[in-house]
Amino acid sequence: MVEGTGRCRTIGKLEREPMRLPDFALERFFARWEFRAEMLLCASDVEGWPMAELLALADEDSRRRWDGLRLGYTESPGLPDLRAEIASLYRGLSADDVLVFSGAEEAIFALHSVSLAAGDHAVVVRPAYQSLAEVARAAGAEVTRIDLRESAGWRLDVAELRAAVRPNTRLILVNEPHNPTGGLSDRATFDEIAQVAMEACARLVVDEVYRYLEFDPDDRLPAGAEMGGSNVAPGAAVAPGSAANARAGALPGVSIGVMSKSFAMAGLRIGWIATRDRELLARLAAFKDYTTICASGPSEILALMALRARETVLARNRAIVLGNVARLDDFFARQGGLFEWVRPRGGSIGFPRLLADYPIDRFCEELVTETGVLLAPGSVFAAAGNHFRLGFGRTNLPEALARLESFAARTFGG
Ligand SMILES: Cc1ncc(COP(=O)(O)O)c(C=O)c1O
């Protein structure tokens, strides 16, 4: 018996890698600190919307659905009216162009799993939310990373993208606005990225979880789902060589969205994929049968309420972010000798740098231990140098910043 137990323990140790996915460094970091630290100065979501306030925003129809809700399984593709509401975020899309997932994370997992296999190639920006590249690799694809550089204002270099593309490139994946830098391509660059994807017959995938948090709304880009494919009505005459003709040959683009960030409702775990590629959506729907089958019923109704009241929801969330960015402008002006950042153009996070010759991992660890304020070191994004992720979606930012400032003064003098 004893011998048998020992044998089981040895086998149970799993000395082999149990899965092809490496640890998700940011999520492992949060597993350690997120619910222990007093203040998250590195969170990427906006201050969670209070449930009572959301219910107070409900229109009559969604309130009726909420009050009469039965906790059974829901429709696998997502509540039809929720899909219609999500589709209305995009030009020219309908409910059937949307599939609901449990968070953007499930959407990424499903998309890579059905789009990529051994022998395929994908291009993903770096740094990035880890799953965007890692799940692609786990699916068997080779992944080329395109570096976003601080010296270039974290902007993507389209020439590098063009050079990275191969005959077997299936996906080109960007994140606009970008985690962790807050970078956002200008319209001309974004159009060029889409052009590269089109010429390569690759699919343009845009992770848009921070969409609507562009500091200047005029900087909002077209959605990935609005790019590529044919916007031409069936049967309409298309002149050979015209831009419309070129678009007609391109794969429809993909948007990844979620309620977590710009809509400030991460706890709903409602995300989605929007695309005019129905064949891709069918494959995704079949994949989802092996993950969550369907989304949470209560969450779908709450997401419906929120999206129907999105002007109000986004106005509150944008006000928090923009108010905090103004505070950060003052902070970086005061702390110019010690911290530096490329001012983000959108989203709720940035990627500043500690200028002192002091390891950033140590700085972050000492900061949270002494003050309760959590910053995420750049190492969780595999980023070289002394970068750290700073989140500005939370209402306690003024207090967290004050603690950071006095900690920095104690540590470095000044
Ligand atoms: C760029 C990006 N994509 C996807 C996700 C996943 O979103 P969710 O956790 O809401 O599924 C995140 C979360 O931080 C993110 O930053």
Over residues 153-199, the pLDDT tens digits come to 999 999 999 999 999 999 999 999 999 999 999 999 999 999 999 99
Cβ of residue 205 lying under 6 Å from some atom of ligand 1 = no
Which tokens in the block code for residue 312? 């109000």
Asked if pLDDT for residue 250 goes beyond 80, the answer is yes
* Confidence check: pLDDT of 52 > 60: yes
Q: Which residue has the tokens 């706890």?
A: 267
Q: Give me the pLDDT at residue 229, please.
A: 83
What per-residue confidence (pLDDT) applies to 6? 74
Using pLDDT thresholds of 50, 70 and 90, give the confidence band for residue 3: low
Cβ of residue 213 lying under 6 Å from some atom of ligand 1: no
Above 60 in pLDDT, residue 245? no
Average pLDDT rounded to a whole number, residues 302-321: 98
Q: Is the pLDDT of residue 18 over 60?
A: no
CA torsion 189-132-382-270 (nearest 10°) is 110
Lookup: tokens for 225? 């789902």
Residue 178 alpha carbon, nearest atom of ligand 1? 1
Given ligand 1 and candidates 46, 105, 205, 262, which is best to mutate, with the most ligand atoms within 8 Å of its CB?
A: 105
The confidence band for 244, taking pLDDT boundaries of 50, 70 and 90, is low
Say what the pTM is.
0.93
- For range 345-352, the mean pLDDT: 98
Ligand 1 pocket test, candidate residues 175, 261, 348, 389, most atoms within 8 A of CB: 261
Range 218-242 average pLDDT: 69
**Mutation choice for ligand 1 from 106, 108, 208, 258, CB with most ligand atoms inside 8 A:** 258
CA 349 to ligand 1: nearest atom: 16
Q: What distance in angstroms lies between residue 104's CA and the mean position of ligand 1's atoms?
A: 6
C-beta of 182 in contact with ligand 1 (< 6 A): no
How many Å lie between the centroid of ligand 1 and the Cα of residue 266?
A: 9
Q: Please tell me if the CB atom of residue 130 comes closer than 6 angstroms to any atom of ligand 1.
A: no
The per-residue pLDDT for range 270-290, each reduced to its tens digit, is: 999 999 999 999 999 999 999
The pLDDT assigned to 15 comes to 62
For the cut 90, the answer to whether the pLDDT of residue 294 exceeds it is: yes
Mean pLDDT across 233-241:
42
Cα distance between residue 254 and residue 279, in whole Å = 12
Pairing verdict, β 142-147 and 121-126 = parallel
pLDDT in tens, 104-120: 999 999 999 999 999 99
Q: How far apart are CA 198 and CA 262, in angstroms?
A: 29
- Distance (Å, whole) CA 168 – CA 152: 29
Q: Which atom of ligand 1 is nearest to the CA of 44?
A: 14
385 CA from centroid of ligand 1 (Å): 24
240 pLDDT higher than 50 = no
Mean pLDDT of all residues in 284-309:
98
CA dihedral 137, 140, 115, 103 (to 10 degrees): -40
CA distances 6 to 3, 13, 94, Å, are 5, 11, 58
Q: Which of 240, 340, 300 is nearest to 80 (CA)?
A: 300
Calculate what percentage of the chain has a pLDDT beyond 70. 91
Q: How far is the CA of 31 from the centre of ligand 1 (A)?
A: 15
- pLDDT over 90 percentage in the chain: 89
Q: Is there an atom of ligand 1 within 6 Å of 105 CB?
A: yes
70 pLDDT more than 60: yes
Q: Kindly state if the Cβ of 266 falls inside 6 Å of ligand 1.
A: yes
